[in-house]
Amino acid sequence: MTDRLLVIGADAAGMSAAHQALRTARARGRELQVVAVETTGHTSYSACGIPYWIAGDVAGPDRLVARTATEHRAAGIELRLHHEAVGLDLDGRRCEVRDLESGTTRWIGFDQVMIATGAAPVVPDWAIGVERVHPVKTLDDGATWIRLLAENPRTALVVGGGYIGVETAEGLARRGLSTTLVTRGTELMSSTLEPGTASAARRGLEQLGVRVVCGTRIDGLLTDSGAGVRAVCVDGGEYPADVLALGLGVTPRVDLARDAGLPLGGPAVRGALVPDATQQIIDGVWAAGDCTAVHDRLLGQPWFVPLGTHAVKCGRVAGTNIGGGRASFPGAVGTAITRAGEVEIARTGLMPSWASEQLGLRTVTTRLEATTTSGYMPQAAPMAIWVMAQADGGRLLGVQLSGGPGAAKRIDTAATALTCGLSVEEFAYLDLAYAPPFSPAWDPVQIACRVLAERGR
Amino acid sequence: MTDRLLVIGADAAGMSAAHQALRTARARGRELQVVAVETTGHTSYSACGIPYWIAGDVAGPDRLVARTATEHRAAGIELRLHHEAVGLDLDGRRCEVRDLESGTTRWIGFDQVMIATGAAPVVPDWAIGVERVHPVKTLDDGATWIRLLAENPRTALVVGGGYIGVETAEGLARRGLSTTLVTRGTELMSSTLEPGTASAARRGLEQLGVRVVCGTRIDGLLTDSGAGVRAVCVDGGEYPADVLALGLGVTPRVDLARDAGLPLGGPAVRGALVPDATQQIIDGVWAAGDCTAVHDRLLGQPWFVPLGTHAVKCGRVAGTNIGGGRASFPGAVGTAITRAGEVEIARTGLMPSWASEQLGLRTVTTRLEATTTSGYMPQAAPMAIWVMAQADGGRLLGVQLSGGPGAAKRIDTAATALTCGLSVEEFAYLDLAYAPPFSPAWDPVQIACRVLAERGR
């Protein structure tokens, strides 16, 4: 008898799971039918690439699609685009699916179900129904932005100081719009970046001409006669805005799961689904991607980190298990990277407050300035390094980097070291690659670790 | 009573040790006098930077000096330039030192001695006494090359396919010389690079216009009337050469140590000194840098790897111990990086033959092509990844990378993982940084690890 897997949501997590389930089942000689339903007309695209499409770096939406519907179908997946899962009957092992084009619904039976419904952008009340106000989340959002830019707007306002806000502000500024970014935070990305790294991100945007306004809330919008945004009211003043980008984060899409009676996480994970390490919620019900929390290896608890890199990894883990193999997701360590104009930014590990308040750890930190390569090379660019370690024993707990080309991707070494529980002393003596075009003889992160190691002696 | 440390050789290893010994002693309230003798007029310079000085990337020799004599003296080190240690009397705790300017010698007493005599370039018999034939090792060599280039030579020959040979060929080609590199190896750097990585290096040079001739020995030179090189005889043919760069590697400078009766390593480490993990040879006699072998963590034995990054680290370890602290060098894992024109190259870990012949391990390897960033970004460059793992259990054993900007420094993550003994499965799920300008959603090295992990299931 052939098992049937129903995949709800045909983006990164869902389709990683679908393909991996098929591959795994086939390798074991098991029959598996995979049906995937997707509300939009798109599959497996890079949401992270949309700010760069807006910026003009990417020719068009097709370039952002990792695997097309045709490719999924060629691999043997029965893919139904413009179909929405509207009801999940777990006892009956069936899902009610609406064909969004015809409006008809039907039930699809399954043996196993993969929930990959993703997340929805936060849209505040004041933004609803106003023209030229849009999030930057889906391919359709991207197309909307390309259309808006074709109308030659002159001023842009970006609301939100997280990754999408920063990347979108960069993109709009590079398209020549007079751009202002407004955030409630005391700095950009202030919940995950220590002040020095956050201010480096701000300087990166400011060097592009973006005005960055921190610690400020939007009171409301002024619209023109056509119900389109004209300006934003802030603290008694106003900023002109021919277009307004929403970068206020996302909330997990869990209505279907909640209505089916599945357990959800609490406010700490924004109510996301919390799968176990195999990505299972309950027997035969799997989930991954932006509708789920991911386990944080350092905090030892689930965390809502809606990133594509976790979606593809967790999706693959789910797929392996669905297909009859064995896999588990070992968890994340809080790694993130972006670019603000010419300034690269990256982080991994804990913030000081997380270490002290959630884990009860005493910590030491240091910050230093260095260059990305040997200082005498023409490509040498300034970079700043922030490192946090446990006061007792010197275990590396967090690293943040900012600077010119080549600064930020060094975070991977730190993420690996955090994962393995290395001390700052051990990190300082790792055999990292040195040649003048690539690094000083002591890697800058190693120098910072050395400073903390000396302090702990 | 004040202890006296004598440092023999005032470059990377020696001066790292000198400063660290002073710092460590002072922090413990101990008196330490440090005397350093150096045969040349230079201290603490980047030998690795000389090919880039030749290439025109570096304005002048001063830029390559990390710390000047004045800075060393300001830190309290008694530095004697143009002084050569000519005899070491270990029983008498004294060293005979010749003032190379006056020709006089005197004995300097010491309580501890740090041997940092470095390495000498290999100069074959046929090269001795021939004009316009030079190694690329010291600041004086660099100055010689700048002078030679001022005479507008048109053709250059580089002998040797190792790092210095490759980097010097790049530099000379970029200076506009018609450049040929000749190596005995079957490929560039063939003893440490698998064929795919090595051929990427060759293509990098060839794209710069360098002619690369592998598997060939130099039979002799043709000289002009002024005893200067004119051409090189190879396999019955000849290559024109207005200048000839020697990149045939280096041998540890251990005459002083040998004459003092200190034990030396065997041919496997080119007769280098083999310190213990604290960098001690015998009681009170320390060594680091290019005159020593470094411990290889994977091979579990000493290895001759004359790199600046090991010199500064091992020098620092020696200094800590000399100053009364405790430190040990945990060893290297064979990490190296360079650039051949536009092609970045890096390696870490074992070669297949080392794993099988020296460690008796069964291995599996894979090789794949990917891009440095998300494929749709304008800066996406091709990169190639080679990964080797242990057949049983999948422990990561070696990674090699080649490709465009951002490809090679990823080796640090692999070096860290090797050091920590991660499996390819564990590597594939590390929380590495993803954003479109920096990486695909699955880091390319993770994809290669995933392939090997799947194969091992």
Measure B54 CA to nearest chain A CA, in Å. 12
Q: Which residue from A48, A409, A434 is facing B406, i.e. has the nearest CB?
A: A409
Residue A455 pLDDT more than 90?
Answer: no
Give the pLDDT confidence score for residue A2 in this predicted structure.
81
Residue B260 pLDDT more than 90?
Answer: yes
Put simply, the answer to whether B434 touches A339 (Cβ < 8 Å) is: no
Is B444 inside a domain boundary? yes
Burial of A197 (0-12, 13-18, 19+ CB in 10 A): buried
Put simply, the answer to whether B457 touches A325 (Cβ < 8 Å) is: yes
For residue A433, the one-letter residue type is A
Most confident of A44-53, A285-294, B219-228: A285-294
Measure B444 CA to nearest chain A CA, in Å. 12
Chain A residues inside the 8 Å CB shell of B415 = 413, 430-433
Q: Can you tell me the mean pLDDT for B71-85? A: 97
Residue B68 pLDDT more than 70?
Answer: yes
Is B334 inside a domain boundary? no
Beta strands in A90-198 (DSSP E): 94-99, 105-109, 112-115, 119-121, 133-135, 155-159, 178-182
Chain A residues inside the 8 Å CB shell of B451 = none
- Give which of A431, A438, A442 to mutate to test B binding, by max B Cβ within 10 Å: A431
Give the pLDDT confidence score for residue B243 in this predicted structure.
97
Same domain membership, residue B135 and residue B95: no
Same domain membership, residue B234 and residue B133: yes
Q: Can you tell me the mean pLDDT for A245-253? A: 96
Same domain membership, residue A276 and residue A364: no
Is A366 inside a domain boundary? yes
Put simply, the answer to whether A437 touches B377 (Cβ < 8 Å) is: no
Task: Please report which confidence band the pLDDT of residue B226 belongs to, taking 50, 70 and 90 as the band edges.
Answer: confident
Chain A residues inside the 8 Å CB shell of B325 = 457
Task: Please report which confidence band the pLDDT of residue B455 belongs to, taking 50, 70 and 90 as the band edges.
Answer: confident
Burial of A359 (0-12, 13-18, 19+ CB in 10 A): middle
Is A339 inside a domain boundary? no
- CATH classification of the domain holding A266: 3.50.50.60
Put simply, the answer to whether B308 touches A434 (Cβ < 8 Å) is: yes
Same domain membership, residue A127 and residue A36: no
Chain A residues inside the 8 Å CB shell of B16 = none
**What backbone torsions phi and psi does residue B169 show, to the nearest 5 degrees?**
-60, -45
Give the pLDDT confidence score for residue A60 in this predicted structure.
87
Q: Which residue from A330, A435, A457 is facing B338, i.e. has the nearest CB?
A: A435
CA B311 – CA B284 distance, rounded (Å) = 19
The encoded tokens of residue A258 equal 């909640």
| Cβ contacts of A454 within 8 Å, gap of 6 or more | none
Of A349, A281, A279, which is closest to residue A320 (Cα–Cα)? Answer: A279
Same domain membership, residue B196 and residue B131: yes
Looking at B322, B357, B377, the residue that finishes a domain is B322
Task: Please report which confidence band the pLDDT of residue B84 belongs to, taking 50, 70 and 90 as the band edges.
Answer: very high
pLDDT in tens, A75-118: 999 999 999 999 999 999 999 999 999 999 999 999 999 999 99
Put simply, the answer to whether A410 touches B412 (Cβ < 8 Å) is: yes
Task: Please report which confidence band the pLDDT of residue B310 belongs to, taking 50, 70 and 90 as the band edges.
Answer: very high
* ipTM score over 0.90, yes or no: yes
Same domain membership, residue B288 and residue B215: no
> CA-based Rg of chain A, rounded to a whole angstrom?
23
Same domain membership, residue A262 and residue A114: yes
Same domain membership, residue B173 and residue B62: no
Q: Can you tell me the mean pLDDT for A296-313? A: 96
Is B277 inside a domain boundary? yes
pLDDT in tens, A122-140: 999 999 999 999 999 999 9
Residue A236 pLDDT more than 90?
Answer: no
Is B421 inside a domain boundary? yes
Q: Which residue from B163, B378, B412 is facing A413, i.e. has the nearest CB?
A: B412
Give the pLDDT confidence score for residue A225 in this predicted structure.
85
Give the pLDDT confidence score for residue A90 in this predicted structure.
97
Put simply, the answer to whether A313 touches B442 (Cβ < 8 Å) is: yes
State how many domains chain B has: 3
Chain A residues inside the 8 Å CB shell of B443 = 412
Looking at A219, A246, A273, the residue that finishes a domain is A246
Measure A265 CA to nearest chain B CA, in Å. 22
Residue B457 pLDDT more than 80?
Answer: no
Residue in B closest to A347 by C-alpha: B433
Q: Can you tell me the mean pLDDT for B311-325? A: 97
Put simply, the answer to whether A442 touches B307 (Cβ < 8 Å) is: no
Task: Please report which confidence band the pLDDT of residue A3 belongs to, taking 50, 70 and 90 as the band edges.
Answer: very high
Chain A residues inside the 8 Å CB shell of B332 = 431
**If you count residue pairs, one on A and one on B, with CB atoms under 8 Å apart, how many are there?**
202
Is A403 inside a domain boundary? yes
Give the pLDDT confidence score for residue B1 in this predicted structure.
61
pLDDT in tens, B167-208: 999 999 999 999 999 999 999 999 999 999 999 999 999 999
CA distances (Å), A43 to each of A13, A61, A115, A320, in order? Answer: 11, 11, 15, 20
Chain B residues inside the 8 Å CB shell of A435 = 48, 163, 336-339
Measure B89 CA to nearest chain A CA, in Å. 33
Looking at B291, B322, B353, the residue that finishes a domain is B322
Same domain membership, residue A234 and residue A136: yes
Same domain membership, residue A222 and residue A130: yes
- Give which of A343, A416, A418, A427 to mutate to test B binding, by max B Cβ within 10 Å: A416
pLDDT in tens, A383-433: 999 999 999 999 999 999 999 999 999 999 999 999 999 999 999 999 999
pTM of the model as a whole: 0.96
For B204-246, the DSSP string reads: HHHHTT-EEE-S--EEEEEE-TTSBEEEEEETTEEEE-SEEEE
CA distances (Å), B31 to each of B1, B25, B317, in order? Answer: 8, 7, 19
Same domain membership, residue A400 and residue A348: yes
Residue in B closest to A454 by C-alpha: B24
Domain containing residue B24: 3-120+250-322
Same domain membership, residue B82 and residue B191: no
Put simply, the answer to whether B419 touches A430 (Cβ < 8 Å) is: yes
Is A44 inside a domain boundary? yes
Chain B residues inside the 8 Å CB shell of A429 = 313, 329-330
CA A117 – CA B339 distance, rounded (Å) = 44
